[in-house]
Amino acid sequence: MFKLMFHEPRIPPNTGNAIRMVAGTGCELHLVGPLGFDLSEPKLKRAGLDYHDLASVTVHENLEAAWAAVEPARVFAFTAHATVSYADIAYQPGDVLLFGPEPTGLSAEVLADPHVTERLRIPMLPGRRSLNLSNAAALVTYEAWRQHGFSGAAL
């Protein structure tokens, strides 16, 4: 339903957690290289547990290859520097939810990419830099899915 995209992820357990989350929601996970780890890394496998075969995960060499493969209509880039809240968006099936690498977030170049429809933020208390990548991705993914009545879920 939705396409979660991690641009140049660095921490294997965050990606493993995302694999488990997309398996549970039916979303796709798109990993944009270069990755900061090998997909066979034990920490990634441990975090994803036995959900790897239930998840849709695609690795793209770079952002241009990801755009060509995904052909997105709308891309929401998440950054602490945005003013619009993720909760103020009416998500549509096929939307791309784009998150940056730990610990830097999305670069100015990626945020300026013409595919990016809007920059969004997750509200936090002042003085906090960011949420954990997999937690932030889950929060947004579940909000988007909630807006569509948790389509396909066993409620």
Which residues sit in the known binding site for S-adenosyl-L-methionine? Answer: 100, 122, 130
Burial 96-124 (b: 16+ CB within 10 A, else e): bbbbbbbeebbeeebbebebbbebbbbee
Annotated binding site: 100, 122, 130
Of 10, 27, 23, 8, which Cα lies nearest the Cα of 140? Answer: 27
Residues 6 or more apart from 13 whose CB is under 8 A from it?
43, 44, 46, 47, 134
Q: Are 33 and 64 in contact (CB under 8 A)?
A: no
Q: What is the number of residues in the chain?
A: 155
- Number of Cα atoms under 13 Å in the Cβ half of residue 128: 9
